[in-house]
Each structure stands twice: as C-alpha cells, then as structure tokens.
Structure 1
C-alpha cells in the first residue's frame, strides 16, 4: 500500500483523465449504440429497474447455482415518478436459467435492516463457502424524516442462495456493517465538497488475478488542496474532482478493508466516475466508468456514456481508450436512452449491460422532462434492462458490433446469435446493419 501522511498530496500522484484527453470526445461510428425501443414485454412491469450487477465468484466469474444466474438491481414501484426513484431505491434480486427471462425474487434485505434511508448501487460476492456478500451504498440515514445525501460503503453478509421448486431464493439473515467512510485526505468528505454533486459510493469487489490482492473499488471525489496547480490550476474547474477509489483487504476477508490511494481521478475534467469496474484481458487492466454529459467541467463537451482506460496493472498509469476515453454512448437523437453500463468478458468480445432510461424525448432535456405531466414522465421512462451491447476490444481500441435483446445476459462461454451483419452508425445514431464483406 502507498504511504500516506498529512503532508502528502494524493492529487499529485494519481493517474489522471485529463482535460486534453476528454476534449477529444466525439461521437463516431465505432462508439454509438443502436437506438433502443421499448420491449414487447417487461419481466417485472410493476417496478422500475435500473443499476444492475451480477452475483459473482471471487475470481470475477459469474456465479451459477443449479443452472441459474442471479442479478441484483436498484428498484422502485413503477407508479412512482421516475425522477423520485432514487429516494426510495431498494435492492431486489432476479434469477434466470437462460439469461433472457428474469424472475423477480423480491427484496434482498428485510425492511429496516440495511443502513441508510435507501440503498444505491454496489456489487455481490458468492464466496467459496456459499455465503453471499451484498455490497451497497448506504445513502442517507436510517429513519430520517427529511432525505439527506450522506454516503457510506456498507455490506450485508450472511445470506445463502437456495434452490426452490420455482427456481432460486436468497435466504437467511444478513449482518449489516458500514465498511468505509471517506478520510478527508485521500477521499473528500461531504462537508469538504464544493462541487455540483458529492460522491462516495458504488462498491465493486475485485480480486486481482495477477497478484491475488483483494480490492473494493468505488466512486469518490479527490480533495484538491487550496492553491494547487492540479489539472489546469483553475479553482472552478478543480471543483470537478471525480475519482475511482480503492480499498484493500490484506487477508482477503470480505468485511475488512483499508483505504488506499485512488486508481484514477478526473480533477478538472469530470465530477462523477460512476460504477467503476475492471476487466482483465491479455495481462492488461481495463477500467470502466459511467458518466453524464452534465458532470463534465466547463469547456468539455461529453456525453452520457461508458468511458474506459487501460493500464498494465491495477495501479498502473491509465491511458484512455480510443484516445478520449469514450467507449459507448447514446445516439445524438436519443442522448439519454440508456445509462449505467457494466462490461464483462465474453469469449473474444465484451458484453455491456445497461438500463433503458429516457426515450422519445424529441429534443427535451431531462429538466424539461421533470416539468411534464406525470403520465408523460412515466411514458418516456424505460425502467427496465436495455439491450445488451456486443463490443470488440483490441488493445486500446473498442468498437460497437451490435446488440442482443433487452436483458439478454449470456454467460461468458455461451454461444451468441450469429453476427450476420455489422452495425455502423453516424454520429447522430442513424445506424444500419450491413452484411459483412466477403
């Protein structure tokens, strides 16, 4: 672990996504996803579904229990206005035997047992002894009358996955524990924040296949000392200080963690590097984050998109994929159609899941949507799993190959439908599938 004391300056030694790199962001035929349309049917129409993650083994592989795979999602009642869903977010689990049809198993935690007034995104570990650890963001304070936005990284530990006559159930009681809070030096506390949005959330379990080190990645903000010349030295730009944090478990215990230096920061570039996760391929470490167009610092035009970086080790010197970091974005004509992307390996490709967000906006901003009549807000929100994207990855370059159906999440060794045509798009998302050249 890096030495850290009160005189050290973490912002000066953290690999950075720079303004110059992010200024190269531009939609192109390799990174624009196909336009998404509503599915014919939803697996759980009674609830909104958004941020989603797999139940995984320690080595990062997707857990299979008696022929089933399990996902977790943030959920809220479908009758709630979409913009209010984060205020009541509940983690539910879903299971599937084929990766296409998902059955809702219900809330993971009993009412009132988890930390926070609501729970935001995380990850889930299926450990060697069959114990389930669900890492989550504890947002607000349990029992509060007025919503607050304090964020801590917590875990519910002790559940078990049981096979039932109908499929899969997560049973048993979870012991909840707050694992990590910001230290004010490596990671900004809420009281220190002067930025547009404060973050300390999105824990993601990762065991390094090269070193065996057990880590927990998360989204945070990096404190920038007053008068620092970090980034471009502009104090207003420095308020945009998103980072990818990491904590380490020295003995591999899934509940014992110590903060370490950030892996990457976006000081002067971006405020939110959401849902960080890593794919290791050919000895290289691919770090992915999601971010919004409105969280880029002034002077940078970015998109709601999946961004990626590559290094030769987990703590290496990351360089942005495709030069700018842009990996997958929405078409210009549907800029908010999907969000919260998660990439995972599939044979020679990557698959990228997300959720179906706002569509049919016809030029409306998200602020405009919030002013619409409730029925119109509901109509324009997808609230379900989006089509899974197929992505080519070659060194430092990526390319969108096409899409599967809504919520189709194959295991890494499962065959995919033949890619009989190639998806290509212009920057506006006016794409087409063309037969490959013979």
Structure 2
C-alpha cells in the first residue's frame, strides 16, 4: 500500500477545479492581496499564560459513550448554512467526523451522523462512498448547505503518503444532494468532486519545497478548509492551514517582524527548529459557481513560533463588529517562548475590527482561549481528561456565545463502566464573547451543536 501511495504522489490529479494565485511578498502589496499578513510574533507568544480558568473541564464519562464501537472518531464539524448557523434540513442536523477502524483495515475517511435534536447522533456511514483518488485518505474540512440550490458543499483534505517527512495534502470539494429514504438521510453520489486548491510555492510552501529542507522535524500542511461568507461584503472565502511561501515568509529566516523584538530566550532554546517554523492560516477567494479558488496572501502566520496551527475557523459578531479567527495547536509544535507553550494543546484566537483584513490583536491579550493538559503525563500515563481539535461554531441561542467541537481519547459504556481507549467526541464547550475577550462559560453533551 505504501508503494502505491508513493507512486500516487507523482501522478497528475486529473479533473480539478480552477486555481489561481493573487498575492505578493511583504514589500509588494497590490489591490487584490488586500492586506499584510498578521504575524503572531515571538513577543506576543511569550505573553501566553496557561491559567486555571482556561483549562478544559474534567470529562464526565457517564455521558460519553462510543459513537461507533471499534472506530476512532476525531476531528469533527457541523453542517452549516452560509451564514455560519447550524443547518436544519427536513428536521435533521448533520455532523461530520474523521473515522478509522481500530484494526486499521480502512484508511481515514469522513463519516456523517444525523440527529433531530443536535445531539444523540445516528451514524449514516461514509459521506463519500468512493475516494476522489484511489489510495488516498480523507482529512478534515467543513461543510456548507446552500439553501437556494439544496446542495451540500463538503470541503475537505485529500492526503497521500509520500515516504517523506509529511503527507502530501490538497483541498477538495464535493457537491452533493441529500436524499431521504424511509426517514433515513443519505447523500447522493457527488455531481461535482475535484481538487480545487493546491499550494503554489510563492504564497504557500509546497510539499516538495518543505521536503527539500531535509529537516528531520519538518512539519508541513495544506489542509483543513473552512468556508466563510463575510456578512458585510457577501464575499465567500476558504480559510485553511498552510505554511508561508517564498514571498510571504520563506522558511529558515529570522526577521524582526517575526520576533517582535523578543530577546529573552532560554539557554536551551532551539533556534534551528524555530527557524523552520512557518505555519500559517491561509485564505482564498471562493467562487462556487465556477468552482474557482484564488489564493491570497496568508491571513495569519506564526513564523518562528509554531509549525502547526490546525482547524482554522472564522466567525463574525455584529454587536462588536469584530471578526474572530480561531486555530488549534499541539504544544510540541510550538517553541518554548512562554511557560508550558510547548507542552499544552490549546485553542488560540485573534480578532480584527470592522474588516476581515484589518490588523488583528490577540483575544484576551495573549491569544489563549482554552487548553488541555498533555495526552500523557511525565510517567507516561494517559490523561483521561485530554481533548483536542476544537472546531468553533456559532451558538443558536445567544449571538455572543460560541460552541466548540472536539475529541477525547477515551469512551465508555456510560455510568461507571471502565474506560476504553477509543477516540470520540468530547463535551461541547460554550464560550462567551465580550468584545476582544472570550471565556469558557458552559458545558454541553459530547458533539452537541445546538441547545
């Protein structure tokens, strides 16, 4: 299988959407690029404080049973409308998640679940019966229901193994219709299914360029597409995780705009690793009529600070006239600029006033929304309260509240039964917005998308 997958890396992908690039380097802005990339600097990251009120709550396993026995379920997202609200179709809500059988007999694929309550999900099976490209895996994304055309737009990551430090990754779109048969929802075969975006090299580092660094701790990504429609302009965008390219933050450079003037490095600071860190939140114009994606300069980047910033999400709040950007990161991909920054897995947020492309500031002053202690402690014992991969969505009850979807590493049969090492949904957490501050506020059932 690995030989097959490595061969696939060199194959032409065949049918694709239209990809174009509009962007520039830091000193060559043009009208289309619209903005300078916001930098999460070393100075800003050094101010991160992991205080107790931001620690995710202990998990109540009496309410956390396995979604599917003998299947790991992890990164997840709800089907939303184009305004970011949870979609309801014929009384049903839908939840997507990455899945894989414990025996490894099937590669990672996206499953879908349905419910009339927004919790107590029923499995509908795989969202896509056939892989777009044979031998590839399906990784995280987002889903948007277009009410006018009654179309489900599933944005996701197509990934294949290459025998290198990182899997190759591209962004795909599947357009499909929902059908109801005897009260059971299912998806028709996509009437459009193609790769719509790939790293270009100039704005976003390519897989080949990353591998050419020959760095044993190299981390590279072009994945996790998130649909966002700006309510102030009605323009549609895709956000995604990537790495800065040759013109937007070439790897292995130390610039003052990345350090922010920080100089207080620890004696054991790994400058080589820091120099290779270039994770970014990318953004692209999206045209769903032509299935066209136009890459823009990265919206946000963490050169020298972090080499992985996953699952971006963007939400607009009208009361505060603010755009809120969220991303999750594993501590071991962060530099030790602040106490525990390289040990805690965390959800970070940044906000812009008035416009999506205005300068951002870290939410809560330091950018930290919430965090979880490591998967294992110093004695190599599993942490049953660990959760990760927080996806953020609007709350249906209060405009100034948000919900998070995440996974944890254990499941149970309910009550006081023994825990099983089986990944499934963690409790949904509620966040409260107060202008440029966001705090943990309440807790719901696992994978609960409405209340």
- Shared fold (TM-score, shorter chain, > 0.5): yes
- 1:204 and 1:114, CA in 2 relative to 1: closer, same or farther beyond 3 A? farther
Question: C-alpha separation between the residues in 1 aligned to 2:86 and 2:99?
Answer: 21
Q: Is residue 429 of structure 2 the alignment partner of residue 353 of structure 1?
A: no
Q: Cα 1:116–1:19, aligned 2, differ >3 Å: closer, same or farther? A: farther
Quick check: 1:388–1:408 contact (8 Å CA) kept in 2?
yes
Determine the C-alpha separation between the residues in 2 that align with 1:287 and 1:6: 21
The alpha-carbon distance between structure 1 residues 116 and 394, as it changes in their structure 2 partners (threshold 3 A), is farther
Equivalent residue number for residue 132 of structure 1: 152
The answer to whether the 8 A contact 1:115-1:178 is kept is no
Tell me what 1:330 maps to.
Answer: 372
TM-score with structure 2 length normalisation? Answer: 0.78
Which residue is equivalent to 1:293?
331
C-alpha displacement of 1:147: 11
TM-score by length of 1: 0.80
2:237 alignment partner, one of 207, 215, 223: 215
Deviations 1:119-142 (A, max 9, x none): 10011121221122211111017x
1:70 counterpart residue number: 94
Task: Look up the match of 1:371.
Answer: none
Distance in structure 2 (CA, Å) of the matches to 1:210 and 1:17: 26
Quick check: 209-218 or 146-155, which moved more? 146-155
**2:319 maps to 1:279:** no
Q: How does 1:155-304 map to 2 (within 5 A)?
A: 155-157=173-175, 159-193=176-210, 194=213, 196-223=218-245, 224-225=249-250, 229=255, 230-232=257-259, 236-249=273-286, 251-253=287-289, 255-281=291-317, 282=319, 283-300=321-338, 301-302=340-341, 303-304=344-345
SS in 2 for 1:169: strand
1:400 aligns to what?
A: 440
Q: Which residue of 2 aligns with 1:385?
A: 425
- Among 2, 9, 17, the residue aligned to 2:40: 17
Which range is displaced more, 180-189 or 322-331? 322-331
Give the deviation of 1:162 after TM superposition.
Answer: 1.7
Separation in structure 2 between the aligned mates of residue 148 and residue 265 of structure 1, nearest angstrom: 20
Structure 2 distance, partners of 1:146, 1:174, is 34
Where do 5+ consecutive residues of structure 2 fail to align? Answer: 1-20, 262-270, 378-382, 413-417
Q: Would the alpha carbon gap of residues 133 and 269 (structure 1) be closer, same or farther in structure 2, given more than 3 Å must change? A: same
Report how far residue 170 of structure 1 moved.
1.4
* Structure 1 spans left out of the alignment, 5+ residues: 361-377, 411-415, 417-438
User: Superposed, which structure 2 residues align to 1:140-159 within 5 Å?
Assistant: 140=160, 149-157=167-175, 159=176
Alignment partners' CA distance in 1, 2:184 and 2:434: 38
CA contact (8 A) 1:139 1:151 kept: yes
Counterparts in 2 of 1:308 and 1:116: CA distance versus 1, 3 Å? farther
Change (3 A) 1:53 1:129: same
Instruction: Determine if contact 2:45/2:337 at 8 Å carries over to the other structure.
Output: no
Take 1:383 and 1:327, find their aligned partners in 2: how far apart are those partners? 23
> How far, CA to CA, are the matches of 1:32 and 1:350 in structure 2?
17
1:311 aligns with 2:330: no
- Residue 114 of structure 2 aligns with which residue? 95
Query: Residue 45 in 1 paired to residue 82 in 2?
Result: no
Q: CA deviation at 1:345?
A: 2.1
Asked if 1:339 is matched to 2:394, the reply is no
Distance 1:198 1:115, change over 3 A: farther
Note the C-alpha offset of 1:243: 0.5
Taking the aligned partners of 1:404 and 1:215, their CA distance within structure 2 comes to: 30
1:410-437 superposed Cα distances (whole Å, 9 cap, x missing partner): 1xxxxx4xxxxxxxxxxxxxxxxxxxxx
2:244–2:280 contact (8 Å) kept in structure 1: yes
Distance 1:116 1:53, change over 3 A: farther
Q: Are the aligned partners of 1:213 and 1:252 in contact in 2 as well (CA < 8 Å)?
A: no
